[in-house]
Amino acid sequence: MDEIKLRYGVNPHQSSARASVPEGSLPFKVLAGSPGYVNLLDALNSWQLVREMKEMTGLPSAASFKHVSPAGAATGLPLSPELAESCFVSGAELSPLAVAYVRARGADRLASFGDWIALSDTVDESTAKVISREVSDGCIAPGYEPAALKLLQAKKNGTYPVLEIDPSFQPPELESRQVFGVTLEQARNKAAITPALLEKVVTFKKQIPDEARTNMLIATLALKYTQSNSVSVAYDGQVIGMGAGQQSRIACTRIACAKADKWLLRLHPRVRALDFKKGATRTEKANAIDLFLEEDATALSDRGLLGQAELAAWRLHFNVVPAPLSREEKQDWLSRFDGVALSSDAFIPFRDNIDRAARSGVRYLVQTGGSSRDEGIIRAADEYGMVMVFTGLRLFHH
């Protein structure tokens, strides 16, 4: 048996935590820091996601995980100047792997605060520099260039967990876990997310451009490693909205689409031109932008949803307090984006999910199918001119 001690279990009071394999060696090495139980749950789930994303797209891939679900996942497609500005990396020289992480982190910067990072390729110095400036809890990758490892080993005064995974490792066919003294066992989820999943188009509209096909597959792959119920929205080679762990499908859809809306709205010229005071940190800017896009801060304060102290603190970030984007301005901007993809980890039971998705520019839908209401869902998708496929593959993850 090979094992390592962990800092603690899920909570600090849960001591005697360890990670082990009954035979052979652990598939990873700890190069810095000391991971905890949740760190390893994030590390081992996120590694599988980026490994499969790289296999699927051929592009360097990255994921930003929080609480065993991706806040963002992305490929290393080049950044537009607008997206680079939105992600606070304008003018930076970034490797494709660094771009993948910038995209993954930028999907939902609030959720990614204190994330676990997974990277599909050997970490270069460019990527390590990006990671070194962010608030993060650790990273996993198949290797590290010497200069990159030196940077990461210095993070958090040497306590930042850095894991090196064996990329050739394949786990056993059966996996088990213990809950309340009872051991549960099942076959490992080896379902492959490939273009073959998208062959059963059930709507009147059937054409799927290559870019949309990639986004549909990325959204679906992300669900494979997201706590269920879950809905994922993807665009431009990355996840831009994730609704995870909700008891109702519409709640998942609302969360995922609201996050996708904010990602798209952060590209709005008025958002990119916000006049922040000198010295405002990336975290402070991200929080201020999120509140700016949520609703007019003054209106929130008037409704009792934002305290006077919070409103005053928000205003302090700006040289000039910005006038809010109107609902019409927001909708006009969102309507410019066509080809957004949404995937559901199980069947969509009611058309309210389709109605909400349409408002976020979703034109490509992936779902399991098999609901008694499939006919009505197909009609709703046809009304919006969407392309919808039935995969027949449920992707619950717990």
Tens of each residue's pLDDT in the chain, 398 residues: 789 999 999 999 998 899 999 888 999 999 999 999 999 999 999 999 999 999 999 999 999 999 999 999 999 999 999 999 999 999 999 999 999 999 999 999 999 999 999 999 999 999 999 999 999 999 999 999 999 999 999 999 999 999 999 999 999 999 999 999 999 999 999 999 999 999 999 999 999 999 999 999 999 999 999 999 999 999 999 999 999 999 999 999 999 999 999 999 999 999 999 999 999 999 999 999 998 898 766 676 667 767 788 778 888 889 888 888 888 999 999 999 988 999 999 999 999 999 999 999 999 999 999 999 999 999 999 999 999 999 999 999 99
| Topology adopted by domain 2-170 | Cytidine Deaminase; domain 2 (3.40.140)
Catalytic residue selected from 39, 229, 287, 353: 229
Cα distance between the two ends of the chain: 26
Q: Answer yes or no: are the C-beta atoms of 161 and 153 closer than 8 Å.
A: no
To the query of whether residue 66 is one of the catalytic residues in this protein, the response is yes
SS3 279: coil
Catalytic residue selected from 39, 45, 66, 287: 66
Per the listing, tokens 């799927």 go with 208
To the query of whether residue 129 is one of the catalytic residues in this protein, the response is no
Per-residue pLDDT, 373: 92
Q: Tell me how crowded residue 127 is: count the other CB atoms within 10 A of its CB.
A: 32
Per-residue pLDDT, 301: 67
CATH superfamily of 189-265+338-390: AICAR transformylase, duplication domain (3.40.140.20)
Compute the distance between CA of residue 115 and CA of residue 66 in angstroms, rounded to an integer.
5
SS3 44: helix
DSSP string, 324-338: PPPHHHHHHHHTT--
Per-residue pLDDT, 315: 85
CA angle 168, 57, 148 (to 5 degrees): 60
The predicted model scores a pTM of: 0.95
Domain ranges of the chain: 2-170, 189-265+338-390, 269-324
E strands, the chain, in order? 2-5, 18-21, 28-32, 61-66, 69-75, 115-119, 136-141, 162-165, 174-179, 182-187, 230-235, 238-244, 340-344, 362-367, 387-390
User: Which tokens is 271 given?
Assistant: 């958002």
Per-residue pLDDT, 35: 95
| Residue 188: alpha-carbon gap to chain centroid | 23
